[in-house]
Amino acid sequence: MQIANEPREKGSYVVATYRVRDMQEKLAARAEGIAVGLTVGSWTDLPQAKQPAVLEYCGQVRGIRVLDEADPGALGETHSGSQDQTHSGLVTAEISIAYPVHNFNGTIASILTTVFGKLSMDGEIRLVRLDLGETLQRQFQGPKFGVTGIRDMLHIPDRPLLMSIFKACLGRNVDDLTDAFLEQARGGADLVKDDEIFFSEDYATPEQRVTAFSRAAREVEIETGRKVGYAVNLTGPASKLADRARRLCDLGAGALLFNAVAYGYDILAELAVDPDVTVPLMVHPAVSGALYGSATHGIASDIVLGSLMRLAGADIVIYPSPYGSVTLPRSEGLRLVGALRADSPHKPVLPAPSAGIYPGLVPKLVSDLGTDCIVNAGGAIHGHPGGVVDGASAFMAAITATVQGTSLHEAAENHGPLARALQKWGTGQ
């Protein structure tokens, strides 16, 4: 039976598209089962007089599309590169279900629990697209700063930003870490961020680090005229995060790094709407691979790290780059960035591809993403043959050359740190 509701105002549905493996003759029944089972349940058992009211909350089947069986990529590749094996008698199909927006309560938990809660345990099924609709999007504030706000904060109008990552931070005291911050900042980093695993509460606490690094950033600004922001890892019990976030902002944090998948989207959304959280929110992708890593199960990365992070209010999203060591396929990475920039009531988000980035990859990164991005580097700054200052300087030279249309090899003729970086890591061609 096809359920058909009266059309509502455009955008008053959330439309989820699932990729499934099933017998072709069972697809229609499976789609109806999803539409009804994730909304009103067994509504046909209700008295007839009550059915119209219940139907207002019932999901609708919007489409069933059988994918080309001849296409070896119909299910896609796993992130390890292995091809998923087809099963005899089964087809790959996409099922689209529309959920009335008034089924949700203004939380991302209600969205995820509805569209992929118990359904996530139903065998080979993957949430591949999620059209949130304008009505639901307007229930959320979205990013407070976005691309323009971050550029204004750092006084960088047009080029890609350079972000350096603290490495080997565990066990180091504040003085030692301050020296490391100064090296990265003096080399040219616009942002310096914590490692996401830095949870220290008994030495070099977040408050101590922000206080020390804010002084160091002012020192660099006096020396160079450049602003440098410190992205401190926001950690602690969930019930105390908002208070700590406000305190870190008051102490001079440049941004708050947040493990949003581990803590939850709605905690991120609460931070985004807090008027006393006055700096950008930077999301780390930790744990997200458990959700998007399979080609046949879970949720697509452009939903996990793209549209839902933007909805929740992330200003910067770090994600595994297609260029480095912990990768997404390039097409998947571009879809993710597309979700951060798509037409929306919300501000666009700065993408920060990460993992294995070195100076020679900057032209490829800018070619794919344009200049509204962050070049996020760790090992290639700290592992530069000339040291940390030269490592950051090499990246800035690569960014400048790329924006000006100069080849990196030509730029390296007059820039020793860039030349040594290219000699060590190459250009990624």
- What is residue 168's predicted lDDT score, i.e. its pLDDT? 79
Beta bridge partners of 192: 164, 230
Tens of pLDDT along the chain (429 residues) come to: 233 444 445 459 999 999 999 999 999 999 999 999 999 886 556 566 556 778 889 999 999 999 966 344 444 444 444 444 445 589 999 999 999 999 999 999 999 999 999 999 999 999 999 999 999 999 999 999 999 999 999 999 999 999 999 987 887 899 999 999 999 999 999 999 999 999 988 889 999 999 999 999 999 999 999 999 999 999 999 999 999 999 999 999 999 999 999 999 999 999 999 999 999 999 999 999 999 999 999 999 999 999 999 999 999 999 998 886 667 899 999 999 999 999 999 999 999 999 889 999 999 999 999 999 999 999 999 999 999 999 999 999 999 999 999 999 999 999 999 999 999 999 876
d(CA 97, CA 397): 49
Enumerate domains of the chain plus CATH numbers.
13-137 (3.30.70.150), 146-425 (3.20.20.110)
- What are the structure tokens assigned to 271, written together? 């931070």
Helix, strand or coil, per DSSP, at residue 250 = helix
Question: What distance in Å separates the CA atoms of residue 145 and residue 162, rounded to the nearest whole number?
Answer: 18
Per-residue pLDDT at 48: 60
Distances (CA, A) of 132 to 85, 304, 345, 400: 32, 13, 11, 38
Single pTM value for the model: 0.91
213 near 230, Cβ under 8 Å? yes
The pLDDT of residue 68? 62
Where does residue 379 rank: exposed (0-12), middle (13-18), buried (19+ CB within 10 A)? middle
CB neighbourhood size of 158 (10 A): 8
The dihedrals phi and psi of 197, each to the nearest 5 degrees, come to -95, 10
Contact (CB, 8 A) for 291 and 116: no
Beta strands 161-165; 125-131: pairing state? unpaired
- Residue 5 is predicted with a pLDDT of 42
The 3-state DSSP class for residue 388 equals: helix
Sheet with 125-131, strands from edge to edge, namely: 60-66, 91-100, 13-22, 125-131, 298-299
DSSP tag of 194? -
Residue in 26, 50, 118, 144 annotated catalytic? 118
Residue 126: strand, helix, or coil: strand
| Among 170, 184, 109, 250, CA closest to 392 | 184
Q: Is 43 exposed, middle or buried (0-12, 13-18, 19+ CB in 10 A)?
A: middle
118 is an active site residue: yes
